[in-house]
Every structure is written in structure tokens, then in C-alpha cells.
Structure 1
């Protein structure tokens, strides 16, 4: 199944208008860039026209044996003058055009990031990491030509040839009738041909995202790939995906090559037409064959090359629109959870939790992603404030879903979830998230220092507070032995530190956050026995005085919980202390007996 999100069914005009809204703060600078381009192009036409006419002017004024320096210097001054204008205009155009483009891209990335935050994790989990990176980086970069190489060339492709035609009218109005059809063909017909030859390119960009996702998976999983001897098979799959993508790429950029070839043909025919008609006018005595004729041909050539400006950039322009569609597709996704709270919750909020007749199914409204199975159907339980609870049961019975719903990463289809006597929807999402400190099996460690990773718990925390949290989480001995202490680099996904240290960093974050609720979602399941024992000590310190919900598979790690809840098939099947559940002789007692091996004996000793 493709991981790409469907692109919005908006017209190109709607996409263009939406892209232009990002340019609004920079309109004056973009107008400056456009004016500079027009001035530069007109200057180029003037330089070529003056240079072409100079020879005729000199011949017409020549006297045998006399060098006419007046004509030479006059023409040289005019060429130098317009050449300076061309250089100045080129500098202003390029500087201002890219100034606007890069700042728009920075704002666009920022807006895209903030648009994705409400979608996480319900909608973002559908994207492979490589596809997500492709959208944020590659697609954003592909929008740059729209601002830097499309807007100004498109307007200049119309405006400058129009000025050239006005000048030609002053020479002889018939020249306009000869040149105008070729200018229109270059400006309108060529882009239309490119669009017909190259397809829309949407499928190619989606395939590119999938290839990026596949490559990201391959790099991240290279250790297992090599260990299982799967390298050749993985390489073969990548080659096949690349070959499929290349077909769309060949069509897209093949059209660009065809366009450029056709453009040269159109320009050549146009030049021949202007030369032919100019010669006819010269023979009829209407224009000077040595001054006006070469000037008309030279200036019309500039007009021809400018009139294909839009077509020459048409492939980049279309790729920009395709990239924008992919970005807007993600930005326009409706969040799974809407923040409808109008303000902070009034009154006291204790640390009790209640699920009342909750029914929930992941992606129930999306046929493509729906699992067609309810996780909860009438699920209810209560957790009084200030106690340590454990949630256990077989895999897939909905334990982690409880955490997802408490954090409002998803909302139930029916039923109520209350926190401290208030409906979860009454809390602004930011306030709700502040209530919970979470330590999970997959707590993410960023490629930064340990200090900055821990600081996520409280961005304004002082270094001393971070140090205290780290020591409370059991990192003191490690930091004392490390030359850089808290400035030690964690590496990508915490690759430079051990699994136990990664979990302690996550615990230190939670300690620093100092929230009334603690959610421990399989926080020690990936650790060895000895490491788990020391991490459990840190977790107990974190849980002191807080309502704590621990999800665990290894039952010996939660025997000292105030109350243990057993989930079977989305329901609370058993509930009580360790001793009570053992006496009950149900699922918990049977599983605990099965887990009494050497590992658990070590943990409970």
C-alpha cells in the first residue's frame, strides 16, 4: 500500500494563487525583481540593436581615409551605458528574486511543520520517514523555481516582447504583424505542447517519496539486512522501484528536451521571417538596409528568446506545482483531534482518571487505513488519584491505546474520558499534554547533547535542575565518568549511549516535567534484567506522589503496584493487588506462574 497522501484535486490556478499568498509580505521586493528583469532584458535588446546599427551608421558617415571617431565613441558610449544597465539590472533581479524565494521557503517549511504537529501521530504515522523528509526538504526546494524562475520570466516573456513590438511599430508597423504570431506561438503554444508531452508528473513525485522512504528504511535497517544476507534482494527491490520512477522522470524531462528543441525551431523560423520581411522593406526603401535592418533583426532575436522564457522554465514550473500539491495535501489533512477548548479548565484538577463506556476504532472514517476492528466497545474503568496502577494483558488488547486516548492523540468515537473530574476535551491540548509525563519503550533520543534531550521536559529549566533530574534518573555515575558530562552527544536516536542510558534520559525528562500523571508504556521491556532493575529504581522515584499508570508485559516488574488491571479483548477482566489476583487464579496468576524463571527471580529478589 502506498504511504503517500493523495494530492488535492485543485486546479493549477488554485495552487498558483495559494502559492502567491506566501509572497504577499515580499510583494514590493518581487516587483523590484520584476522591474529589474524587464530593464535588463530591454538593455540587452538595446545593446544588440545599437551594436547591429553601429556598422551601418559608420559606413553611412564614412569618408575615404578618415576615421570617424565621433561615431565610434558615440556608439561605444551607448553600448557601455546600456551594458552597465544590463549588469546592474541582472544583479538586482537575481539578488531580490532569490532573497524572496529563500525566505518564502523558510516560512513555508515552518508553516508545514506547524501544520503537521496537529496531525501527529494519527495522520503522520501513515508516512514513511523518507517520504516525510522528501516532503519537508525536497518538495519545499522544488517550489523555489516557482518564485525565483517562473513569476518574473513569465511576466517578462509578455511585457518585453510587447515593448519590442512597440519599437518595431515606430520603424514600420508591418513588422508587428510579422513578428506577433511568432511571439504568441513561443509564449502560448510551446508551454501547451510541453504540458501535453510531459504528463502531469504527480505519479513521479509520489514514487520519489516512496523511493526515499525505502532508502531510509534500508539505511536504518542495514544491520539486519546484512545479518540475514538480504542485501541483494533489497538492492533489487530498490532498482525496480527506481526503474518504475524513472519512466515518469523520463517523460517529464523528455518533454523539456522536446520543448527546447522546438523552441530553437520556432526562434529560427521567426528570425528568418523578420529577416525576410526586413529585406523586403529595405528593398522597397522603407527602412535603411545598413542601420535599421540589422537593428530590427537583432532586437527581434532578443524578443524571440524572451518569449520562450516561460516555456524554457515550464518543466521546473510544473514540478513546483506538483511539489506544492504534495505539501498542501499533508497540510490540508484534517487532524484526528480538534482543539475545541476555549480556555483553561476552571476549578481544581485532581489526578484521577476515568473511562466511561468508551468505544474506539483506529481510522474508522478512512476506508484505506481502517483496521475494521474496534479496539474498545463500551470500555470503562476508574483510577483514583495518587496511586500506582498497572495495566497488563496480551498484545493487541488495547493497553497502549489507553495511553493514546489519554494524551488525545486520537479521540474515541463514543463515550467519555475524564481527567480530574473534567472531560478531556475541556482541556486545551497544550494544557492536557502538560498533565502527563510519558516514558515509553520507544522514547525518542535526538541527535543532540544529553542536556538538550533532558531539557525537553522543561525548556526554561536551569542547568542545575537538569543535572538534578539526571542524577535522580540514575545518570549520575555515567555523567561523572564522561569527560563532557551533560554535554555528551547522544548520537542519532541515542546511538552513542546504551539502552539503559537512553531510558534514563527519558526518565530524566519526565522528572524535569514534574507532571501530576506518569504514563509508563513498556518503559523497560527492551532492557536486560540487570539494567531493568536499576531503571525500575529510577521509575519508582519518578512515580512517588503521582498517579502512575504502568503498562508492562513482564509481570514481576509491577507486583508492588497499588492495583493491577488485566485487559482481555478490550475489557477489564480482572482487577486487584498482586496477592488478590494470584488468589483469584485467573489470567494474571497463570501468566505470572509461567514467567517465574531465573530472570524474574533476579528481579524480585
Structure 2
């Protein structure tokens, strides 16, 4: 129930939906019940229970209006009596048939209008929920995506939200309308016969208990099903991303078997869910008919023995009305069975929404002022969980200078660079820009002053223009071309099929590694940041591409404060300061010439590359 109410929170503001929906639903139910109450006069006319003499004894004065069920009964009897007196039984029969047609038309009209509102509500809830999940995903720190399976997140954003829409939000009409209908039917039934209605209230809870037991089992199976589906999507994502490796290792049978096992498990769970869900509807119908049969036997004996306050026509109408109670009751039992899967999906979606981002702005965070002087690391420590990655990091980068980070893999170079744009926050110590602790300022204002070029070129399945102008919506073609020329990318762009309007494929798959990297550099050039972070920007390139990219990087680094991570020491020889990291600590620092004069780790790394 808690999950259901949380999902309904996304329907705010309720004023857009609730008032009109309630009005249309109540009117639809009233006209629907009125259709069945017309059975009594219809049967009386057909079986000659009401004629001209009986009509003369009916209500002869028009009743005064009141919010009472007897007013509507008396009002109808008054006009029905007038019709019989003026037009006879044939006219009365025609009158009843016309009223039935009008009443059914109005009942279905209001039902349609209520469904329209529910349709708008459903679209509104799903839109807001999907937006909330996607927004929360974008707010998460980078470590979150290392711990979560991408396929699982995709399942929650797509399949789970779709399941919430079809299983939970779609049942709003059942959860709201059907209880009102049941209350309305029982109100009429109580006015007709208290004794018979109390008898039915003893039998109905028995069927409800059986359905509740089935629904409880459904929820457990639904949880297993959604977990299995997330594994399937993870396998699909990994297969599409790693197809080159799969084919190179002839691993098609291996990956196919892995997919088959998970797909088979998901199919077994779905069959189990379908069997239990499909059992709910026929079982509820059987139990309902059993109750009707019991009522027919008990009430029929009372009528036959003249111990009932109901006439035969009224008793038949009572039975028909009670049978209609089973329609919303059956709909509710079926919806409660179907809703379990949606509630499981709702839980999975809400888990993402409720996950608190580890990196976020403080309540009164300000915008970081323009960068003017220096970046300082003061006693910085950082770790993932219980694992310490950086220890006692202290250094300063003056504006316009280049600092290089080198050392063995796993030494903490990339982690140190990730702390500057607040991809992570230090666990101890502080990072200052012009004396300002960056944790006291908004992430947006900190990152706005930085450009990042990584080893893996992160590009999007869009045009070359859109990739270079990424997030700069007002960029002109002239600005994009100028950035591309500085990045040594303009010539190869013009040789593509549609120039700057060429779509480069998933992650830039239509381009070579060097071309992708130069587009990443052009994107950073267009942003024109005062601080630049280069993380292994040339390590994955061939010699010719590296030369072009290195030239582009040199253009990019002019008049900028740069932090460069590189394994190829030839690319950082001209850095103003080189920091050598090992096991999370700075063990050497100085210029290339100064470090070469010592027999330290940097000199050994340089010698190894020269002799390789």
C-alpha cells in the first residue's frame, strides 16, 4: 500500500483530475444502477402486476425534492403512473424502454469521460516518474555506475516504468470506481432488504480471502521476474558492446548459452505468474456465483413462504442487482492480482529515486568566482569504501601552468584528476581554487570552468556538429569550424559524407580512434575552459594519429591551466611540474630534467620506454 501511495504522489496536482473524475464516476454509477431498478416496473407491466386500477392508486402528487432515495423512487412512480393512466400498458412499456436507452447512454457517456481523465492521469504519472528516475540517474556520482549493472538501470527506466503504467496506474479506475460502485449497489440492496443483504455480507469475505492469498504469492514471483529481466538486458548490452571480442574468441556458443539460461529462467517465472494471475479471475467468478446461488436459495424460500418483504419482481431485481456487485468485485480481485507485479516494479523504480546522491550542492552553495590564481590540494585523502586510494596529497597548480601526473597503473592518477571537477569529494583534506573550497560551491559552477578529454572518446550517436557543440546550444557553424581547425579535425570532417552534418554512429563507431579523439578535443576547445584535464588522451592511438592529436592538445593547452595524465612520458616532458604517484602517494616531483637526474621511479619509467 505504501508503494501504491508513493506512486500516486506523482499525480500531483490532484485538482487537475480528482474533482471531475469523481463527478463523472458517481454520475455513471447512478445511471448504471438506475437501469437495473427499472426492471421492477418493467416486470410488473409485462406480468400484468400493474394496470390502470393500480396506477390510479400510485402517487398522485408530484413529490418535493430531497436528497433521499425514496424521493427518486416516488418521483419515478408519479410519472410512471401518469403514463399508464394516459397511454395504458403499451405506452408504459415504451416509456420504460426509452428511459432505459437514455439512462444507458448517460451511464456510458460519463464512464467514457471518466476514462479520458484516467488516461490523462496515467500519462501524467508515468511522465513525471520517468523524469524523476532519469534526473536522479544523472545526479549520481560516478562510483554509483561502477556498482550498478547498466542493464538493470535500463530495465528500471523502461520495463519497470511501463509495468507501473500498465499494472498500477491503469488500475486507478478500478481502485477508485469499483469501491464506489460496490457501496452504491449495497446502499440500494439495503433499502430493498436488510436481511438478505446481511446474509450476502457473511459469504463475500470468504472469496476475498482466497484472492488475497493468490496475490501475495504473485508479488514474490514478480520480484524474481524483474530481477531476471534485468540480467537479460545486461547480457544483451554486454553482447552488443563486446561483439568484436566475442567473435574474436569464437565465444558465440558461450554467450548464447549464458543468454539461454537466463532467458529460460525468466520464461519459467513468467509462466508461474501467468498461472497464478489467470486463476484469480475464474476463481473469483466461481465463488461469486456460489454466493448468488446461496442467496437465490435462501431468499427464494423466503419469497415462496411469503416471509420476505420483497415481491417476486423485486426479488428478481434484487438478485440481478446483487449479481452486478460481483462485476466490480471481480474487477477488483483481478486488479489486485495484476497490481502485484506493478508494485514490485514501482519498488524498483522508487529505489533509484530514493537513492541519495553522494555528491551534491550544499543548501546555500554559491557560484564559484572566475578562476584567477591557483588550484591547491591540501592534505587530500580519498578512498572507495574501506580501500584508501589517495594519501596526504599536497601540491599547487599556478594559473597557466601544466602539471603532469605519472606513475604505475592503479597509483591514483585518474582518481586525483576526478576530484577537481567534483566527480568525487575528498574523504579528508580540501581542494581550493583561488582559496575557495570547491565543496562550498555549486558543482555546475566548478565544472563550468573545466574541460575534460579522456582516453576513451565519449561521443554520441549524432552529427559531428552536435558532438562538437555539445551543450552549447547557441554555437554557430563558424565557431564549430574554428574549434575543429584548432583540433586538426576540419580536414577529415570535410572528407566525410555530409561534412559537419554526418552522423557518426554509436559512440562514434564510424570514425577512427584518432578522429574521435580530435572531435573530443574540438568539443573542449569550443567550451574554452580556463582549466583543462587530459586523462591518457593519446595512449590508445597509433603514431600518426598521436602526432595529430598531440598537436591539437598543444593548441588546446595554450594559456590554460592543465592537469595531464600520461603513460607516454614523451607527451609531458615540457610540463612545468611532474608528480610521480605510487600507491596513492606523491613520491617524486619536479621538472623532467630534475627527475631524470635522480635514480627514482620516473627515471626508471623513462629508461624502460626508451629501451622498449
- What TM-score, normalized by structure 2, do the two folds share? 0.86
CA distance in 2, matches of 1:435, 1:348: 8
Q: CA deviation at 1:351?
A: 5.0
Flag the structure with larger Rg. Answer: 2
Aligned to 1:258: 279
CA distance in 1, matches of 2:356, 2:310: 68
Aligned to 1:539: 553
Change (3 A) 1:353 1:141: same
Question: Which residue, out of 352, 356, 366, partners 1:334?
Answer: 356
Provide structure 2 residue ranges, at least 5 long, that are not aligned to the other structure.
Answer: 52-86
CA RMSD of aligned residues (A): 2.8
The 5 A counterparts of 1:132-151 are 132-145=153-166, 148-151=169-172
The 5 A counterparts of 1:438-477 are 438-456=452-470, 458-477=472-491
CA distance in 2, matches of 1:501, 1:345: 35
CA distance in 2, matches of 1:53, 1:468: 87
Q: Verify: 1:167 aligned to 2:188, yes or no.
A: yes
Matched residues, number: 575
Contact kept? 1:52, 1:298, Cα under 8 Å: no
User: Any idea what SS the aligned residue of 1:584 has?
Assistant: coil
CA distance in 1, matches of 2:213, 2:28: 28
Contact kept? 1:55, 1:290, Cα under 8 Å: no
Question: Which residue, out of 305, 310, 316, partners 1:294?
Answer: 316
The 5 A counterparts of 1:458-497 are 458-497=472-511
Provide structure 1 residue ranges, at least 5 long, that are not aligned to the other structure.
Answer: 1-11, 365-371, 599-605
Deviations 1:192-240 (A, max 9, x none): 2223333433343233223222222122222321221212222222222
Q: Verify: 1:82 aligned to 2:96, yes or no.
A: no
The 5 A counterparts of 1:217-256 are 217-256=238-277
Contact kept? 1:49, 1:298, Cα under 8 Å: no
Question: Which residue, out of 354, 369, 381, partners 1:359?
Answer: 381
Q: CA deviation at 1:146?
A: 5.8
Aligned to 1:6: none
Q: Verify: 1:59 aligned to 2:47, yes or no.
A: yes
The 5 A counterparts of 1:82-101 are 82-101=103-122
Question: Which residue, out of 104, 109, 114, partners 2:125?
Answer: 104
Aligned to 2:54: none
Contact kept? 1:101, 1:147, Cα under 8 Å: no
CA distance in 2, matches of 1:547, 1:104: 47
Q: CA deviation at 1:457?
A: 5.1
Question: Which residue, out of 480, 499, 517, partners 1:503?
Answer: 517
Deviations 1:249-296 (A, max 9, x none): 444443322322320221111221233244234424547776333322
Q: Verify: 1:569 aligned to 2:583, yes or no.
A: yes
Contact kept? 1:475, 1:504, Cα under 8 Å: yes
Aligned to 1:194: 214
Question: Which residue, out of 389, 392, 396, partners 2:403?
Answer: 389
Aligned to 1:9: none
Q: Verify: 1:121 aligned to 2:142, yes or no.
A: yes
CA distance in 1, matches of 2:25, 2:148: 41
Q: CA deviation at 1:84?
A: 0.9
Question: Which residue, out of 326, 344, 359, partners 1:322?
Answer: 344
Q: CA deviation at 1:545?
A: 0.3
Q: CA deviation at 1:509?
A: 1.5
CA distance in 1, matches of 2:264, 2:411: 42
The 5 A counterparts of 1:393-472 are 393-456=407-470, 458-472=472-486
Change (3 A) 1:233 1:44: farther
User: Any idea what SS the aligned residue of 2:48 has?
Assistant: helix
Contact kept? 2:219, 2:341, Cα under 8 Å: no
The farther-off stretch of 93-102 and 271-280 is 271-280
Q: CA deviation at 1:471?
A: 2.5
User: Any idea what SS the aligned residue of 2:47 has?
Assistant: helix
Q: CA deviation at 1:434?
A: 0.8
User: Any idea what SS the aligned residue of 1:22 has?
Assistant: helix
User: Any idea what SS the aligned residue of 2:143 has?
Assistant: coil
Deviations 1:459-501 (A, max 9, x none): 3333332232222222211232334322211222112222222
Change (3 A) 1:476 1:322: same
Contact kept? 2:171, 2:335, Cα under 8 Å: yes
The farther-off stretch of 140-149 and 350-359 is 140-149
User: Any idea what SS the aligned residue of 2:388 has?
Assistant: coil
Contact kept? 1:457, 1:512, Cα under 8 Å: no
User: Any idea what SS the aligned residue of 1:291 has?
Assistant: helix
Contact kept? 1:351, 1:516, Cα under 8 Å: no
Q: Verify: 1:553 aligned to 2:560, yes or no.
A: no
CA distance in 2, matches of 1:156, 1:489: 50
